[in-house]
Amino acid sequence: MTDLALWPLTIRAREAPDLDQCVEMLREVRLTNGYPAKWPADPRAWLDRPEFDQAWVATSSPGRIVGHVAVQHGREVTRLFVTPAARRLGVAGAMLDHVSIWAGGRLILNVVDKPNSAAVAFYESTGWRYTRTTTADWTGPRGEVVRLRHYVR
């Protein structure tokens, strides 16, 4: 995918029919970057949790989903991912700007603390402020302890 095929980018509320394409995109992200750390038993349910206040997708012409993000607890960003072919083209930033407007400003998020993390580099280069590191209440794929870096914007 080139940036000419990506733009115009549309960010819209995720709808139930989008979930199959989101799961396929998530599978591609998992194979490329290891996100999520553990593949969920039911990826559709992992993307469509009752505690989410809202979820959005970013679509490119002709309607292909290239990004996903959700918010829970009014301002906590979760389930943010962009298909590898659309990385470094402004998709994640555009989605986060959209979420920020929806939430009325300040957002929080956490990301797995691992060496050379592209996610950490992205957040820190786009104005997110690191606040602390904690231990997750879940374990990694081999039962290992997972550390989370917390950010605000």
Q: Please give the full DSSP string across 47-65, using - where no structure is assigned.
A: HS-TTEEEEEEEEETTTEE
Range with lowest mean pLDDT among 5-14, 72-81, 141-150? 5-14
Confidence at residue 1, expressed as pLDDT on a 0 to 100 scale:
43
Whether 146 contacts 138, CB under 8 Å: yes
Residue that has been written with the tokens 């870096």 in this structure: 149
Q: Give me the percent of the chain exceeding a pLDDT of 70.
A: 95
d(CA 18, CA 119): 24
Confidence at residue 3, expressed as pLDDT on a 0 to 100 scale:
47
Q: Length of the chain, please?
A: 153
Res. 116 pLDDT band, cuts 50 70 90 = confident
Confidence at residue 7, expressed as pLDDT on a 0 to 100 scale:
65
d(CA 26, CA 67): 9
Confidence at residue 34, expressed as pLDDT on a 0 to 100 scale:
87
Q: Which amino acid is at 37?
A: A
Residue that has been written with the tokens 């298909």 in this structure: 83
d(CA 147, CA 136): 6
Q: What is the mean pLDDT of residues 95-108?
A: 94
Q: Which residues contact 54 (CB under 8 A, 6 or more apart)?
A: 13, 70, 71, 102
Q: What is the pTM of this model?
A: 0.90
